[in-house]
Amino acid sequence: MKTARRTATLGASATVAITSRAKALVAEGVDLVTLSAGEPDFAAPGFVLDATVEALRAGHTSYAPVGGVPALRDAVAERFTRDYGVPFTRDQVIVTVGGKEALYDLFQVLVDPGDEVIVPAPYWVSYPTQIAMAGGRAVTVPCDASRGHALDIEALKAALTTRTVGVVLNSPNNPSGAVYDAESLGALADLAVQHDLWIISDDIYSAIRYDDTPFTSILHVRPELRERVFIVHGVAKTWAMTGFRVGFLAGSRVVLGRCMAVQSQTITSATTFAQHGALAAITGDDAFLGPWLAAYDARRRLVHAALEAMPGVRCALPSGAFYAFPDMRGLLDKRHRGDLVGNDRHLAELLLERAHVAVVPGSAFGSPGFLRLSYACATDRLALGLERIAAFVAELS
Ligand SMILES: Cc1ncc(COP(=O)(O)O)c(C=O)c1O
């Protein structure tokens, strides 16, 4: 029997693949330190759980309207109006099944076969694949580690062609932890106007920042661009609600209308009672976040100091999100127990199988030679994982 070519080469995301192998090792009884997960290790706030259970008991168990529960759309519009300094109304916001579905719908609506979308690297793993699923091509533009993975506007400019339809932004960035500044966003805004481009701004980590680093959106810098800017957000990271699968998409009413048509033919809506939990989250008190950020911050410093102390490893101190993205290129020509390390994928494999630490190879994010370590895990496990990596590195010859 036949299957379609469309998904023949579509693999599971690299993070999911590592997680599966890690789970298999744990099932075999291995005491594995998992630094590969992209989700907070905290439990969702109690008031969110209460609101979700109440929603179930109150009978919010049937289909929600396409585009989301109206009260949630209103609340997101209100919150975005406050956070972005640009007025949003209900029809400029839809609720999606996580930020992932917001991105998927957008690429389906914006990208024709042969169109190009610029994706600064390192990038979150799903952008290029989702663009390809829409028939388009992701044109990746490296953002150099030596410049803190800041947006490279000259390189972006050089990557533009007549087929470019948009640019994806992700700040704070997964995996680099970089936070984009107003100047580079302003320069990008100019390019967007000159070349008539969409800007897809994935702000899912906007609340997770350190050292008073401000969050600057392209909308803060150039609010008049609002018709060409989409904001992708959700409850997964800030509120530790990854399993709720609730995301938000804000932007042009016309494009959102098309996204809702996609939703009506695919998902109908995000899970109704989960949307009520999300409503409690985004209208509730953010006080829970302070202690979480303090914990992430302490771990960020721990992971940074430990990596910098390893010979051949360089690591920038991340400004946001909960990942460190060390440059391991200094280790790639070395051997571990006689086996050549060679590249980041093999390095991640060796760390998993021999040091029992799960990390994600940088090539999955478009940056070969790097590794991504998540510090959204218990501090003692993180410390143990770092000790194991240090011992592995010390064994290289
Ligand atoms: C940069 C980025 N965007 C979007 C998502 C998707 O988030 P959600 O769980 O809301 O689908 C993730 C999740 O890892 C992410 O890291």
CATH number at residue 29: 3.90.1150.10
Residues 90 and 187 in one domain: yes
Which run of H or of E encompasses 206?
none
Query: Measuring CA to CA, which residue among 271, 290, 285, 286 is closest to residue 52?
Result: 271
234: β partners:
247
Answer yes or no: do 85 and 217 share one domain: yes
Q: Ligand 1 centroid vs 235 CA: distance in angstroms?
A: 10
* Mean pLDDT (the chain, rounded): 96
Q: Do 76 and 120 belong to one domain? A: yes
- Give the distance (Å) from ligand 1 centre to CA of residue 40: 12
Going by pLDDT thresholds of 50, 70 and 90, the confidence category of residue 13 is low
Nearest CA residue ID for atom 13, ligand 1 = 38
Between the CA of 294 and the centroid of ligand 1 the distance, in Å, is: 22
Single residue among 271, 286, 301 that ends a domain in this structure: 286
Domain boundary among 286, 309, 333: 286
Q: Is the bond preceding residue 65 a cis peptide, omega within 30 degrees?
A: no
Instruction: Supply the pLDDT for residue 17.
Output: 73
- Residue 23 Cα to ligand 1 midpoint, Å, equals 21
pTM: 0.96
Answer yes or no: are the C-beta atoms of 385 and 137 closer than 8 Å. Answer: no
Q: Which atom of ligand 1 is nearest to the CA of 247?
A: 10
Mean local confidence (pLDDT), 78-86: 97
pLDDT of residue 22: 87
Q: Residue 118 domain-assigned? A: yes
The residue contributing the CA closest to ligand 1 atom 4 is 99
Question: What mean pLDDT comes out for the span 10-34?
Answer: 84
User: Does 242 fall in a domain?
Assistant: yes
Buried b (16+ CB within 10 A) or exposed e, 332-345: bebebeeeebebbb
Q: Are residues 239 and 297 in the same domain?
A: no
Q: Which of 100, 103, 130, 249 to mutate to test the pocket of ligand 1 (most atoms within 8 A of CB)?
A: 100
Distance CA 134, CA 195 (A): 21
- Sorted by sequence, the CB contacts under 8 Å of residue 261 that are 6+ apart come out as none
Residue 16 CB partners (closer than 8 Å, separation 6+): none
For residue 52, is it within any domain?
no
Integer CA distances (angstroms), 205 to 137, 216, 249, 293, 389, in order: 25, 12, 14, 12, 27
Q: Are residues 272 and 303 in the same domain?
A: no
Give the DSSP H/E element, type plus range, for residue 2: none
User: 250 and 313: one domain?
Assistant: no
Q: Output the domain CATH number for residue 222.
A: 3.40.640.10
- Mean pLDDT for the stretch of residues 130-153: 95
Query: Domain check: are 14 and 137 in the same one?
Result: no
pLDDT of 33 > 80? The answer is: yes
Cα(392) to centroid(ligand 1), Å: 31
Query: Are 149 and 119 a contacting pair, CB within 8 Å?
Result: no
* Residue 186 · residue 156 · CB < 8 Å: no
Report the pLDDT averaged over residues 93-102: 98
User: How much is the pLDDT for 108?
Assistant: 98
Cα-to-centroid distance, 14 and ligand 1 (Å) = 14
- Give the atom of ligand 1 at the shortest distance from the alpha carbon of 102: 11
Predicted local distance difference test score (pLDDT) of residue 68: 98
Q: Which is higher by pLDDT, 396 or 21?
A: 396
The pair of structure tokens assigned to 349 is 């494999």
**DSSP tag of 284:** S
Helix (H, G, I), strand (E, B) or coil at 247: strand
Please state which of the ranges 8-22, 140-154, 276-290, 356-370 shows the lowest mean pLDDT: 8-22
The reply to whether 55 falls in a domain is: no
Q: Domain for residue 57, yes or no?
A: no
Q: How far apart are CA 238 and CA 161, in angstroms?
A: 36
223 shares its domain with 356: no
Query: What is the structure's pLDDT at 355?
Result: 98
Kindly list the protein residues whose Cβ atom lies closer than 6 A to any atom of ligand 1: 38, 98-100, 124, 170, 174, 202, 204, 234, 236, 242, 247
| Claim to verify: residue 128 and residue 239 sit in the same structural domain | yes
Last-in-domain residue among 286, 319, 353: 286
User: Is 297 found in the same domain as 279?
Assistant: no
Domain of residue 85 covers 63-286
Where does residue 280 rank: exposed (0-12), middle (13-18), buried (19+ CB within 10 A)?
A: buried
Q: Which residue carries 């998927």 as its tokens?
A: 104
**Average pLDDT of span 362-380:** 96
Q: How far is CA 394 from CA 11, 277, 355, in A?
A: 34, 47, 12
Q: At 162, list the tokens.
A: 């007549």
Residues 6+ apart with CB under 8 A from 48: 239, 241, 277, 278, 280, 281, 284
Q: What is the Å distance from ligand 1's center to 60 Cα?
A: 26
